[in-house]
Amino acid sequence: MTTEQVCAVLPEGHPLAGRAELTLADLANEAWVMTPRSSWEPWHRAYQDQFREAGFVPNVVQEEAGVQSLLGLVAAGLGVTRLACSAASLRRTGVVFVPLTGAYAYTEMVWLSGNTAPALHRLLDVVTDLAATTDLTSTG
């Protein structure tokens, strides 16, 4: 349905915060705050592979389940994280979002084949329209 750039989320004032773009390898020596592996196994499996390809295992110093909590931990200087760039609309102070080269988040929908419920088809129409016309990275 949609594809979105993933950003490194850094505390304001971080030495890398002024860069236009980062690679995951640029963050190899950072402390990380992330969601617990149990929160979404496929996501963590993909991230583990991406960290390995970048040549490191992240030093995870804190785990929190919610995006708002992760943003608060980054703002407090506990570590860095990576989130879809649209998460920038959730917090405007204390953190800086820097796009990660070649990193994207994909949003997809699935449903049971043969489902003819009118509500499902209306939902698909609305979501498809929103995905095509909404800038997820805008704030406000």
> 17-42 pLDDT, tens per residue?
999 999 999 999 999 999 998 887 77
Sheet containing strand 2-11, edge to edge, reads 81-84, 2-11, 95-107
The predicted model gives 117-130 an average pLDDT of: 84
Q: What tens digit of pLDDT does each residue of 64-106 get?
A: 988 999 999 999 999 999 998 888 888 778 999 999 998 777 7
Strand 2-11 versus strand 31-34 pairing type: unpaired
As a residue count, the chain comes to 140
Q: What does the pLDDT read at residue 115?
A: 87
pTM score of the predicted model: 0.81
C-alpha torsion sign, points 13, 16, 21, 24: negative
Q: What does the pLDDT read at residue 127?
A: 80
**Per-residue burial over 74-97, b = 16 or more CB atoms within 10 Å of its CB, e = otherwise:** bbeebbbbbbbbbbbeebeeebbb
Q: Are the beta carbons of 103 and 5 closer than 8 angstroms?
A: yes
